[in-house]
């Protein structure tokens, strides 16, 4: 019996054949939350190809009107899927669990990186030494200027310009001199044992891309989607006592864990915002226009550091190689 149109029939047929699985294996994977035989990608494809209510109605009507004829393979595949109790809800829970882990890990990684960068920029003794060298050189170079020659600090916009100031013979830049001065400051410590005194440029780039509002939206969406997942779980577990384990235990455990993870990241986001405000206060950052400190974003602040850290690291590596060869 053929009910599906040719294109739909072909798509379902190709998928069911390409899986190279007995239907009992698919059924087992769905009932037991088991991806050892049927992987997540295959389960997603099975979920996406599931029959609509109209298709199921048409297939069942054809079975009743032609009881002596067997269903074509695609129709048979869709009917068997539909006969798994709460098939769509089960797989939707399965898929959400996998997506949740990826999404919450991504949020956690972004926030942790930002907190580490804030901590480094405020408390790294090595970085303070580098900034001290920059200030001392600036005061020395401006020695003839009473106003600028004894500065207590400098604006962050100076950092990206250090590589543009060249020696009289154009052989090195001011940034080269700063790197060499820092290495000399480390005394007899072997160059290969001296850690890079500025943050990793890639970590600064990641911090620059953090958008607090966007992360808050992501967390709120995860909360909403977790609620929807819980409703699906309740539907599965209340429908029948049969085949609800291990689904019930695994989902209850996941939902409990996910709720805690969301709560943890909400706290982490608040902590991040506070640390970031602390950082811009630490550097006496001058906001643009009439903006308040809590309106400054990572996208505005960290680009002052990105080019500096990248250029510093490039010169640092070349100086290391040169000293090692000597």
Q: pLDDT for 23-40, tens place per residue? A: 899 998 888 888 888 888
CA triplet 107, 108, 111: central angle to 5 degrees?
A: 85
Q: Is the pLDDT of residue 140 over 90?
A: no
What pLDDT does residue 159 have? 94
Confidence of residue 231 (pLDDT cuts 50, 70, 90): very high
User: Which phi and psi angles does 260 have, rounded to 5°?
Assistant: -65, -40
Per DSSP, the three-state class of 166 is: strand
What pLDDT does residue 170 have? 76
Task: Determine whether 5 is exposed, middle or buried from the number of CB atoms within 10 Å of its CB (0-12, 13-18, 19+).
Answer: exposed
What pLDDT does residue 67 have? 87
Q: What is the DSSP string of 197-237?
A: SS--HHHHHHHHT--HHHHHHHHHHHHHHHHHHHHHHHHHH
User: Which phi and psi angles does 24 have, rounded to 5°?
Assistant: -60, -30
Cα atoms in the 13 Å half-sphere on the side-chain side of 76:
11
Per DSSP, the three-state class of 173 is: strand
Confidence of residue 21 (pLDDT cuts 50, 70, 90): confident
Tokens of 162: 């250090």
Per DSSP, the three-state class of 55 is: helix
Q: What is the mean pLDDT of residues 45-51?
A: 92
Gap between the Cα atoms of 307 and 211, Å rounded: 20
Confidence of residue 243 (pLDDT cuts 50, 70, 90): confident
What pLDDT does residue 146 have? 56
* All structural domains of the chain: 6-84 (1.20.58), 86-132+197-321 (1.20.58.2220)
User: Which phi and psi angles does 173 have, rounded to 5°?
Assistant: -105, 170
User: For the whole model, what pTM was predicted?
Assistant: 0.84
Q: Is the pLDDT of residue 235 over 90?
A: yes
Among 271, 11, 232, which Cα is nearest to 119's? 271
* 246-300 pLDDT tens trace: 899 999 999 999 999 999 999 999 999 999 999 999 999 988 777 788 889 999 9
Q: DSSP class of residue 71?
A: P
Q: What is the mean pLDDT of residues 209-226?
A: 98
Among 8, 126, 111, 133, which Cα is nearest to 59's? 8
Query: Rounded to an integer, what is the distance from CA 229 to the centroid of its chain?
Result: 22
What pLDDT does residue 155 have? 86
Q: Average model confidence (pLDDT) for the chain?
A: 91
Q: How many residues does the chain have?
A: 326
Gap between the Cα atoms of 71 and 67, Å rounded: 10
* 141-197 pLDDT tens trace: 776 555 555 667 788 999 999 999 887 787 889 999 999 999 999 988 888 899 999
């Amino acid at each position: 019996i053929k009910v599906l149109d040719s294109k739909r029939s072909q798509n379902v047929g190709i998928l069911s054949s390409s899986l190279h699985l007995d239907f009992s294996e698919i059924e087992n994977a769905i009932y037991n939350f088991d991806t050892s035989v049927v992987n997540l990608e295959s389960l997603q494809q099975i979920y996406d190809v599931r029959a609509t209510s109209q298709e199921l109605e048409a297939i069942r009507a054809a079975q009743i009107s032609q009881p002596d004829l067997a269903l074509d393979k695609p129709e048979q595949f869709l009917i068997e899927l539909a006969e798994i109790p709460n098939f769509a809800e089960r797989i939707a829970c399965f898929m959400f669990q996998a997506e949740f882990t990826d999404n919450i890990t991504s949020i956690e990684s972004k926030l942790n990186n930002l907190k580490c960068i804030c901590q480094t920029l405020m408390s790294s003794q090595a970085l303070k030494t580098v900034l001290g060298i920059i200030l001392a050189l600036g005061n020395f170079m401006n020695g003839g200027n009473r106003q600028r020659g004894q500065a207590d600090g400098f604006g962050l916009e100076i950092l990206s310009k250090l590589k543009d100031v060249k020696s009289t013979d154009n052989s090195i830049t001011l940034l080269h001199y700063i790197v060499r001065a820092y290495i000399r400051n480390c005394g007899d410590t072997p160059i290969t044992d001296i850690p890079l005194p500025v943050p990793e440029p890639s970590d600064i780039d990641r911090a620059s891309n953090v958008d607090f509002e966007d992360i808050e939206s992501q967390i709120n969406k995860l909360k909403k989607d977790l609620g929807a997942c819980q409703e699906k779980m309740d539907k599965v577990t209340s429908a029948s006592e049969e085949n609800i384990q291990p689904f019930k235990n695994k989902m209850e455990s996941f939902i409990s864990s996910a709720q805690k993870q969301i709560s943890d990241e909400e706290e982490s986001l608040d902590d991040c915002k506070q640390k970031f405000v602390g950082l811009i206060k630490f550097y006496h950052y001058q906001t643009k226009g009439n903006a308040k400190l809590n309106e400054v974003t990572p996208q505005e602040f960290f680009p002052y550091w990105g080019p500096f850290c990248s250029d510093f690291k490039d010169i640092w590596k070349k100086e290391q190689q040169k000293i090692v060869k000597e």
